[in-house]
Every structure is written in C-alpha cells, then in structure tokens.
Amino acid sequence: MASRNETRVAVFFGGRSPEHDVSVITGLQALKALDQQRFAAFPVYIDPRGRWFVGAALGERRSYLPDARVARELTEVSLALGEPGRGLLLPKRSGFFARRPPIEFDVALLAFHGVGGEDGQMQGLFETANLPYTGMRTLASAVLMDKAATKRLLASLGIPLLPYRVITRGAGGLPSADSLRDLLGDIGFPCIVKPAHLGSSIGVGKADTIEEVRALLPMIFRLDRQAIVEPFVANLVEYNLAVMQAEGGVRTSAIERPKRAEDLLDFRQKYLSGGSDKGGVKGEGTASQGMLSLTRDINPPLPAGLEEKLRRWAMAAFLAVDGSGAPRVDFYCNAATGETWLNEINPIPGSFGYFLWEAAEPPLGFTALLTRLVGEALALHRAAQLPDDPVPPEARLLRRP
C-alpha cells in the first residue's frame, strides 16, 4: 500500500468504444512510463460492457481481455460521487458479509480513445465528482470528438478545412441514392466516408460512386449515428503535431509524416504495421516508434512556409477550445498542389503522442510528459474550486444556518 504522501494516480482505460483495444495499449504504456518516484499508479480497466475493475493483473498486457481465471483476481468497483477532491473507488459486494475497503486516488489519468471516454462523457463524470483529471475539459473533448462540430468551430479562424456533408442515421433505413446525391451536392468523387465521432481510422472508406457511399453506411451506422463525407485528397500526405500549454505560452511538438503504402491510412495500417513490438509498453529512455510501431518520418523536410502554417493553425485551434492536455492536430496535404487542410484534432492521441514530444525541441520524454499532464490536472482542479457555499449574498433566497 502506497504512503498517502505519494500522489496516487488512477490510470483509466478501455471502455465501451470501438477503440477499446487501442485504449488498453495506451493505458498500459502510461502505467509503465509514469514516474515511480513521484506517483503511486494503478490501473482502472473499463470493459466493453462498461464494468469497472481494479487488480494487479490489469497491469500486464497478457491479461487482456480478462478471461475467467484473470477475472477471479479482479475487483469490480464504482466511483463515489460524494467525496469532492478525494477519489474513491467502491468495491462491489462479493458476498453477504464481504466488503473490501475503498481504493483512494488523487488524480485520474485518462487514457481513453473514442466514444464514452474521449468525447466528454468521462470528463463530465469527473467534473461531477469534483476530481482532478488529465487532458481536455468536458466541452473541448465533446466538440473535438465531433468532426462536424470541429469544422464549424474552426471555420471562423481562417484555418483551411475540407468541405463536408453529414449523413445522419434515420429510423427509416438507409437514405436513397437520389437523396444522397442531393445531400452531397458538389463534394464530388472520389470521396471519403467516415464516422463523425470515432478515431483510429475505424470505419473509414473511399467511395467512387453514390452506390459505394451508400454501401459504406451500414458499417458506419453500427458504430456511430452520423457519417461525414469529404472530398478525397489526391497525392495525400499527412502531417501531425501535438500542442500543450507550457511556461510562457503554448508549445508544439515535433511534426510527423506517417508513411503509407496506400491512399488511405486505415486502422490495421495504423496499428499493426512495422516492427516486432506489437503494442508493448515502454518507459523513459527507450527507442520509440509510437503506438504499435507505426512507421513515420519525424521532422521531415517541408515545403517552404508549411511548418510555420502548421504550427500556427494547430496553436490557434488549441486556444479556440481553451486547450489543455496534449492533443494531436492532424493535417492533410496535396503534395502536388501544396494545398493543406486541418483534418481533425485528437483530444487523447494514441500513446499520448509521446514520440512527438521526445523529438521536439527541447525534447520532452514520455515520463516528463505524463508528469506535466498530472500536474496540469491538479492545477486546473484547484483553479476550478468554488467556495463551500457558492451562492453570493445577493442571490440567496434561503436561510443559512
């Protein structure tokens, strides 16, 4: 049992999300990389059914997904909401008289990806419980995990964005080809069809006809209530960089240019390509290639003026949502024409984007990155506290004792 002089960090991951498995990898990486001298860290796993578990076995990748043997070593818990500033996980009863003591923590390190964890839902829960948590705040998380809402927010900032249309799942089945043709208007073909609220390139497809757009919708609508359609970018090159608050202002990370063998970087290319370490965890000081060894160029040579634009646009987008955490901002570029567009912003990037910060100037290692995120979580929580009785005298309608 850790001393209460240590900061206890509960690392939350998993969840009811199509990106559950990717979240587990990110969570395990963070668990291993946290500074063991400063923090007492432990995993809190949320399974695909939404149940919360704690247990030492959850710190090892071989335990996932937990089978019956591993499950016997775990304790199902729930979050207490009535202890502001003091995280308590309450074990559920396992017998008539059995009741294990609560598990305390000081700050939640959120390693979720996708719906139910990265999209404001977990952030709102921790706001309700009045507990410190890492990353983007509730509103920013919700907006940035909605690709259409992100475009609407950033449209006034002068940041170039691809045109788009949104297709919403209806009760009457798939929209007809004619209605889709009217909706898409001048988007043109080929086009990209993708879920509006998911990441990790899950559900993304390329369509050359209205019929192909329609054929992609059932898969997307199983995971999301909305699809977003954008023009296909020819000669596609992707550039990604991360952003964070730092002393003296906002700083940006190194820039990555993911390598790809095809036109579209899909889920399996992103997470199952390259290298022999398929999702192992890492700590400070080891050679890093990012989430599941995706091959990438770090700080590649860029066309004249592009680096300045990418960094300026990324910082503007970050500030527009009163940014916190270390989100990754992704851009598309047509290498032949030089046209560039902001594609999306990831509130909690895979592996926390540590490889981008390790290659930044000055470099910031994974352990130091997580220490910053935890420190920021505690500072934001302190700044958000209200008086014990937040009702000002002029608004009081009830007698105080």
pLDDT at 278 over 50: no
- Please compute the mean of the pLDDT values over residues 254-260 and round it to a whole number: 90
Tokens of 68: 């019956």
pLDDT at 137 over 60: yes
- Please compute the mean of the pLDDT values over residues 102-111 and round it to a whole number: 97
The CATH class of the 7-133 domain is: alpha beta
Q: What pLDDT is recorded for position 296?
A: 84
Q: What pLDDT is recorded for position 175?
A: 93
Confidence of residue 281 (pLDDT cuts 50, 70, 90): very low
The answer to whether the Cα torsion of 208, 213, 214, 217 is positive or negative is positive
Please tell me which residue, 84 or 135, carries the higher pLDDT value. Answer: 135
Write down the domain spans for the chain. 7-133, 147-159+235-379, 165-231
The CATH class of the 147-159+235-379 domain is: alpha beta
Neighbouring C-beta atoms of residue 362, cutoff 10 Å? 6
Q: What pLDDT is recorded for position 262?
A: 55
Three-state DSSP at 321 gives coil
- Please compute the mean of the pLDDT values over residues 13-23 and round it to a whole number: 95
Say if residue 43 is preceded by a cis peptide, omega within 30 of 0. Answer: no
The answer to whether the Cα torsion of 257, 263, 269, 274 is positive or negative is negative
Q: What pLDDT is recorded for position 133?
A: 98
DSSP 115-173: TTTTSSHHHHHHHHTT--B-SS-HHHHHHHTSHHHHHHHHGGGT------EEEE--TT-
Q: What pLDDT is recorded for position 289?
A: 44
Confidence of residue 172 (pLDDT cuts 50, 70, 90): confident
- Among candidate residues 272, 285, 311, 298, the one with its CA nearest the CA of residue 353: 298
Query: Is the CB of residue 314 less than 8 Å from the CB of residue 252?
Result: yes
Q: What pLDDT is recorded for position 248?
A: 83
Q: What pLDDT is recorded for position 28?
A: 98
Tokens of 3: 């001393």
Q: At what angle do helices 147-154 and 306-320 cross, to 10 degrees?
A: 100
- Among candidate residues 194, 137, 136, the one with its CA nearest the CA of residue 165: 194
List pLDDT tens digits, range 303-342: 999 999 999 999 999 999 999 999 999 999 999 999 999 9
Percent share of the chain, pLDDT over 90 = 81
Confidence of residue 264 (pLDDT cuts 50, 70, 90): very low
Percent share of the chain, pLDDT over 70 = 88
pLDDT at 212 over 50: yes
Question: Three-state secondary structure along 234-285?
Answer: CCEEEEEEEEEEECCEEEEEEEEEECCCCCCCCHHHHHHCCCCCCCCCCCCC
Residue 97 identity? F
Q: What pLDDT is recorded for position 269?
A: 53
- The DSSP 8-state label assigned to residue 92 in this structure reads P
Confidence of residue 6 (pLDDT cuts 50, 70, 90): confident
158: region left, alpha or beta (phi > 0 left; psi from -120 to 50 alpha): left
Q: For 93-97, 323-327, 397-401, which range has the lowest pLDDT when averaged over its residues?
A: 93-97
- Please compute the mean of the pLDDT values over residues 107-113 and round it to a whole number: 98
- Please compute the mean of the pLDDT values over residues 167-179 and round it to a whole number: 92
Bridge partners, residue 67, by sequence: none
Mean pLDDT, rounded, of the chain: 90
Q: Report the predicted TM-score, pTM, of the whole model to 2 decimal places.
A: 0.89
pLDDT at 159 over 80: yes
State the burial class of residue 231 (Cβ atoms within 10 Å of its Cβ: 0-12, 13-18, 19+). Answer: middle
DSSP 377-398: HHHHHHHT---SS-S-GGG--S
Neighbouring C-beta atoms of residue 389, cutoff 10 Å? 9
Could you tell me which residues come within 8 angstroms of residue 126 by beta carbon, excluding any fewer than 6 positions away?
108, 132, 133
DSSP 165-206: EEEE--TT-SPPHHHHHHHHTT--SSEEEEESS--TTTT-EE
Confidence of residue 139 (pLDDT cuts 50, 70, 90): very high
Confidence of residue 277 (pLDDT cuts 50, 70, 90): very low
- Among candidate residues 324, 370, 374, 377, the one with its CA nearest the CA of residue 29: 370
List pLDDT tens digits, range 214-248: 999 999 999 899 999 999 999 999 999 999 999 88
H or E element: which one contains 368?
Answer: helix 366-383
State the burial class of residue 66 (Cβ atoms within 10 Å of its Cβ: 0-12, 13-18, 19+). Answer: middle
Q: What pLDDT is recorded for position 85?
A: 76
Cα–Cα distance, 385 to 209 (Å, whole number): 54
The CATH class of the 165-231 domain is: alpha beta
Confidence of residue 94 (pLDDT cuts 50, 70, 90): low
- Please compute the mean of the pLDDT values over residues 168-190 and round it to a whole number: 93
- Please compute the mean of the pLDDT values over residues 29-36 and round it to a whole number: 97
- Please compute the mean of the pLDDT values over residues 69-80 and round it to a whole number: 96
